[in-house]
């Protein structure tokens, strides 16, 4: 059995990588996040709103 030419291997490798990227981006586009991601500065503000005010 003869080895494959370099051009065929490179095209196959690039096609496989491109297919993986296409599937990932297509999946993300079909299922977007419904809630915004929690930011590091959002957590303390939410805790301050729920805590009762000291008299």
pTM higher than 0.75 for the full model?
no
Position 50 scores a pLDDT of: 56
- Domain range for 16 is 1-32
State the 10-residue block means of pLDDT for the chain, 55 residues long.
Answer: 94 98 88 72 56 58
Does residue 41 belong to any structural domain of this protein? no
Q: Hunting for tokens 């930011």 — which residue is that? A: 39
Q: Note whether residue 24 is domain-resident.
A: yes
Total number of domains constituting the chain: 1
Assigned domain for 38 exists: no
Q: Is residue 6 part of a domain?
A: yes
Residue 52 lies in a domain: no
């Amino acid at each position: 059995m003869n080895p494959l030419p370099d051009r065929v291997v490179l095209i196959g490798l690039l096609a496989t990588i491109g297919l993986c990227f296409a599937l990932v981006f297509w999946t993300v586009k079909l299922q977007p996040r419904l809630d915004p991601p929690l930011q590091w500065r959002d957590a303390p503000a939410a805790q301050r709103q729920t805590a009762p005010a000291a008299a």
